[in-house]
Amino acid sequence: MKIRRPQQKRSLIWAGIILLGGIVCGSALGVFLTLTHDLPRIQELENFRPSSVTKLFSVEGEVIGEFFVEKRVPVALEEVPTYLQQAVIAVEDRRFYKHAGLDWRGIARAIVKDIRAGRLKEGGSTITQQLAKVLFLNPEKTLTRKLKEAILALQIERRYRKDEILALYLNQIYLGGGAYGVEAAANRYFGKHVWELDLAECALIAGLPRGPTLYSPLVNPDKALARRATVLKSLLDTGRINNEQYGATVEEPIQLAFSSSSGAEAPYFISFIRPRLEEVLGENLLYRGGLTIQTTLRKNWQQVAVQALEQGLSALESRHRDEYEEGERPQGAVLVLDARTGMIRAMVGGRDYEISQFNRATQAYRQPGSAFKPIIYSYALEKGYTQADLIWDAPVSYPQTGGELWQPQNYSGRFEGEITLRKALEISQNIVTIKLLERLGPSPVVDFARHLGIASVLHSGLSLALGTSEVTLLDLTSAYQVFANGGIWVEPSGIAEVLDHNGRSIWKAASASRVAISQETAYILTNMLQGVIQRGTGRGARNLAYPLAGKTGTTERSRDALFVGYSPAVVTGVWVGNDNGRPLGHKETGARAALPIWREVMGKVLPETTAADFVKPETVTLVRMDVRSGLLANGDCKDAAEAAFIKGTEPAKHCAGSGKGQLEKFY
């Protein structure tokens, strides 16, 4: 038997140790490479910019809404109150400024807890580890993920200062209620900027990372209060606050700010412009890019419109309180456009966006009634008619398919005999408008309405004269904008400019425009519609001391009530009706149900516009005309008005002074 010498034995032992060490090191290296081969590069943090909130601003520069996937508003660390920084560190990672990314004491405690619990829990993570998980990893609770988290934490700590890590954490962590980061949370819960928070508010927010839903004051106010007390105790234990501060603050009730779920000052308007923004910017940039959207909305005008609509609808309800079914309430819409640019200055699509997101200013197709008549009259002016032309207002009948007769009526039930186009428009006589449409031809009028911006489907029958084809309030108001703007149609728009997160312009609106009618037609029709307000169905607005023109609209059985009117600067449309099409109530006309809302809006808006009159073209002359006969008025003519004509088409003869006088009742 061969005997091994001691030296040979030692050599074999060392060889075994080296081999075993190689196996262990190789295995460890293999595990390390497996864990790290798909880890993100920490250098990416250099260019990291968190998903931010896109804000929408009014003309006055005030925030009226926000777009976001995650509600995150990054702030610098110096903007975060010291109490909030200290509170987060006290409850999440007391040794944050002492460890190098991993807290071995905390890890040891967590291992003991995991063994006792018989499962892997989340204990032991430092702020740096939590940041690594939030930025780079998924939230699964596995040993592999915990090891990756630890490796990333060590890499982050080697590359970045503690304050930089803390700032990233405070801007990234989810804090419940859709809020990511402390600024978003401060706004969500308290309606404040983060730098405005007091000690109690800081403590509440600092307690949320461990359980954003569990400790949310919106979901579990009692648990939120208890968690806040825990945070305050941690601040006391670490010497960040004294006993007096602790005692006073721990007893404070939680006072949250009211927050509308729509998150917007003008929710119908914001919902209207959202698809256009998605189209031009893309959803990723819009919802994650932290953009600044400069809208065309004037916040104070929007508030005026909201209040006026509610007041008008409440008054309508009080007049017919016993006629409405339980839970049924009349609805309405208000739209205000800039007469020159077509920019939307206010948009109210209903009484309450929280209850109904249906936008009645842009999505509701309803009959405009007599508010459609100015389109027919403007086409007549384009074709050479004048406001002095006469049409016989008398009963008519038209044969229909099946042998039936259509016998339209005037709303008043009266017939005025031979009257001018001006008078017929002022008192909204149906028969005269039907006869005028018959002469012009319904199909050409439909094409003309398209040119004025009416995109809705219009039926080319004689009932078009009564406004039976359904349109949106936006289309109708846009058509009136042509009359206010000297014949030029401008596409309505709600977006002025978009800036990126650095304040650089990346998109500007370029609204389509075109000459829709002649300047002469626009001025003459405006002159006729001024008569509607001064002497006709819209005279409920004549106490406003501004140049105004407009037209009422009422549909069959008072299902819809409208008033659309304008000054040289502003065009406003109002619709009132029931969503289910039920009548509003007996004699609820445009003059009674819609005009008061319009008057309230314009009364508040007009003082903020430039005082000016409608611009008269040089080719137009003004004469004093008897509105019944269409002749020049003399001292004996009782129904006279200053009427506009293209030079050479004005009446040449004087009336004989036999006018009947102004009608005393209008509908």
Active site residues per annotation: 92, 370
Measure the CA–CA gap between 106 and 94, rounded to whole angstroms.
10
- Look up residue 540 and give its DSSP letter: G
Q: Beta-strand (E) ranges in 474-559?
A: 488-490, 495-499, 505-508, 513-515, 549-554
Q: Which amino acid is at 350?
A: G
Measure the CA–CA gap between 236 and 250, rounded to whole angstroms.
11
H helix count then E strand count, the chain: 20, 20
543: enclosing H helix or E strand = none
Beta strand pairing call for 179-180 and 71-72: parallel
521: enclosing H helix or E strand = helix 519-535
Distance of CA 302 to the CA centre of its chain: 11
Q: Residue 44: how many CB atoms within 10 A of its CB?
A: 10
Asked whether the beta carbons of 237 and 187 are under 8 A apart, the reply is no
Beta strand pairing call for 640-646 and 620-626: antiparallel
Three-point CA angle 623, 624, 626, nearest 5°:
130
Measure the CA–CA gap between 437 and 417, rounded to whole angstroms.
18
Strand pairing partners for 623?
Answer: 643
Residue with tokens 């030029």: 488
Measure the CA–CA gap between 102 and 146, rounded to whole angstroms.
11
574: left (phi over 0), alpha (psi -120 to 50) or beta: beta
Exposed, middle or buried by CB within 10 Å (0-12, 13-18, 19+), for 33? Answer: exposed
Tokens of 402: 């099946």
Q: Residue 276: how many CB atoms within 10 A of its CB?
A: 13
Three-point CA angle 523, 495, 54, nearest 5°:
165
Q: Considering Cα of 351, then 352, then 353, then 358, what sign does the dihedral take?
A: negative
Q: Which amino acid is at 232?
A: L
Radius of gyration of the chain (CA): 36
